[in-house]
Structures are given as structure tokens and as C-alpha cells.
Amino acid sequence: MMKGGIFGFGGVGQAMTRQININKWHGEDMRIVAVCNRGKPKRDLAEKEYNLAAYDNVDDLIAHGLDFMLIVSTSHAHRDAAVKCARAGIPFLIEKPIALTLEDAREIVAETEKAGVINGVNYSMRYRPMYQKMKRMVDAGDFGKVLSVWARTFRGHGFYATGHRHRAVAEPEESGGWIVHHMCHIVDFAIWLAGAVEEVYTLTLSTAPPELDSEEMVYATVKFANGAIGTLADQVGSLRDHSAGVIGEKGGCSEINEGVKPLLRVHYETDIEFRPPHVVDPTDGLVVEDGLKHFLRCLREGVATNVPVSEAEYSLKVCHAMRRSAHEGGPVQID
């Protein structure tokens, strides 16, 4: 039996505990045994309803004796938990962003690589069949040289001015702001498809007070090192929507989210103009894993995950460049 700990017993931590301990979605050989949470009500919940040991600091959680850790707390606390896990030799899955500052992210990467512990980042787009199929088609050269990538997401939550405030917007000191907290998903996706970023230019808007320095609407143009370009957009608000795609010299694809299941719309430059698209089921031949299932499988097999913290450090670097661009009102080069 592999014993796990949860750092941050909010909605995500509770859901993961139910998956592992109650629903047994991840086998009989995994069990959450202890949690850490700064608020007492959720520690009481862990003890009374989930029969778990509950602590108010990560040191006591680590001392409980763990085989793995799931770091799903508020983002500002990620650095301490990840560094201490690495130094204790405990494999961990960490939510995005891995840290709020680049210095903290680099320390996480350095300590994790020094310890050689299995680690993974729960970038959810990496695990969805739709985007995995896009990635495989890009890597196989189905679209030729990549020319453009786009991704946009509408989170579907009220603006600050309406009173229905997302915590990440209202408390940027703990979240890092909307770009770091949420837009990092599509930033990671774009880098995953098109590679390193050379330059970003970002515009932001917010109904929050200027002194809060907390963006709600973000539109960015991206230039990649390989010559491709892209557009990325993310925002809160009442609308919920998502789309992403890629175009290359030989063709391109985008997602279809209407209907019974998500599908992929594919066009090739050799197709007759205005012909119906090729429709691809991205789940064909794919073993579907979310971030937690992938991490636990890698833990059993003793192999590295597909999304190590080193890649999340780079995407955080791009997110910080985007914030800087918005503040300075011009493009920012990325070394």
C-alpha cells in the first residue's frame, strides 16, 4: 500500500481523496492517509468525514510517513511544499502554477532534480484526448511546418465589479494574478505544440481597482523561436467557452465541442476548397489518463511523468513576460 498526503484540503484535495480512498478509481494499492490545511474547518472535515490525520503545517504532514504527496493548495504555498517534499525524497504531483515567482520555481526544479524524485504538474490540457491528438499530429508532421497556434478560454465567472469575484482576481498576492493562475494552462499548451517563445505582446483589462493590479481579460500575441506566431486569450466573465487549434503549411485542425463528445476538425491544403472537414475522434487508440492517474501510474512504474516541473518553470517565465508586457505597454523579448 502506497500512502499519500494532500497539501491543501479544498475542493480539489477532497475530490482526489474521494477518487483514491472511496471510489477506488486508482486501484487498491493507493490510499490518502493524511492532509495539511491552514484552515481548521477543513482539517476537522478531513478527520471526521474522511478519517484522515490532519495537520496545520507541511513539516508534520511529511513526518507522518508518506510515499507521495498531492500539492493542491493555494498557489503561494506551493514552493515550500514542493521543496520540502523533494528534500524528504517524496514524489509529488503539483497543481499549476508551481510557484508565483521565477526564483521559487527555479528552486523547486533544482531541488527536485537534485533529489531525483518523480514529479508531475497537473496541466489538464496535456491529458485531454483532443489536445493529445493535436500534439501527435503536429509531431508526426501531418500539418507540415507549424505556422500558427491559438487558444482562448472564457472562465465563466463574474467580474470583480459585479461582486461575483473569483478568488484569484480578488487575492492576486496568493494567486499570482489571472495570467499566472489560470492563463498558464493555454500558455503551456501553446509551448507544448509550437516550442520556445521569442516574444510576447499583451493587453489586459480589469474591473478590479487599479491598485489591486489584477487582470481579468487578457489578449496576447506570441512569436515563437521557430518562426510560428500565435494568439492566446483568457478572461473571467459570465460566458464559458474554449477553443484551440493549430495551422501548418500542409493543413490544420481545431476542436469541435458541440455534440455528444469532443471531436477534432481537420483540413488539409490538398483538400477541395469548401469541402466538409475530416472529423477525427481523438480517443481512438488512446488510453485516457488525467493528471492524477498519470502520476500514480508513473509512481507505480518508477518512471518520469510527461509534465515535469522544469517545463512548468518555463511556462511561468512566459507568463511573467506577458504580465510585464501588459505593464510596459509593448512587446517583451524572452531570453
User: DSSP per residue over 88-132, as a string?
Assistant: HT--EEEPSSS-SSHHHHHHHHHHHHHHT--EEE--GGGGSHHHH
Q: Could you give the CA distance from residue 180 to residue 315 in angstroms, rounded to a whole number?
A: 9
pLDDT at 129 (0 to 100): 93
Q: Could you give the CA distance from residue 258 to residue 183 in angstroms, rounded to a whole number?
A: 23
Q: What's the CA angle centered on 124, arms 90 and 156, to 5 degrees?
A: 130
Run of H or E residues at 223: strand 217-224
Instruction: Kindly list the distances between the CA atom of residue 299 and the CA atoms of 41, 79, 120, 138, in Å, as whole numbers in the listed order.
Output: 31, 21, 10, 28
Instruction: Give which of 66, 4, 11, 6 is closest to 35, Cα–Cα.
Output: 6
pLDDT at 164 (0 to 100): 86
Q: Could you give the CA distance from residue 324 to residue 54 in angstroms, rounded to a whole number?
A: 39
pLDDT at 257 (0 to 100): 86
Q: Got the DSSP string for 167-207? A: HHHH-HHHH--HIIIIIHHHHHHHHHHH--EEEEEEEEE-S
Instruction: Give which of 12, 102, 90, 2 is closest to 291, Cα–Cα.
Output: 12
Pairing outcome for strands 119-121 and 146-157: unpaired
Domains belonging to the chain, first-starting first, are: 2-124 (3.40.50.720), 125-287+308-333 (3.30.360.10)
- Residue pair 331/199 in contact by the 8 Å Cβ criterion: yes
pLDDT at 238 (0 to 100): 87
Q: Could you give the CA distance from residue 124 to residue 246 in angstroms, rounded to a whole number?
A: 18
Omega before 209 cis (within 30°)? no
Instruction: Give which of 152, 204, 226 is closest to 183, Cα–Cα.
Output: 152
Alpha helices for 254-290 (secondary structure H): none
pLDDT at 286 (0 to 100): 81
Q: Could you give the CA distance from residue 236 to residue 242 in angstroms, rounded to a whole number?
A: 12
Q: Could you give the CA distance from residue 205 to residue 159 in angstroms, rounded to a whole number?
A: 11
Q: Could you give the CA distance from residue 113 to residue 86 in angstroms, rounded to a whole number?
A: 8
Run of H or E residues at 253: strand 251-256
pLDDT at 39 (0 to 100): 95
pLDDT at 271 (0 to 100): 95
Q: Chunked in runs of 10, what are the mean pLDDT values of the chain (335 residues)? A: 97 97 94 97 97 97 98 96 98 97 98 98 95 96 98 90 91 96 97 98 97 96 98 93 96 90 94 92 88 96 97 97 98 94
Run of H or E residues at 268: strand 263-268
Instruction: Give which of 174, 11, 177 is closest to 77, Cα–Cα.
Output: 174
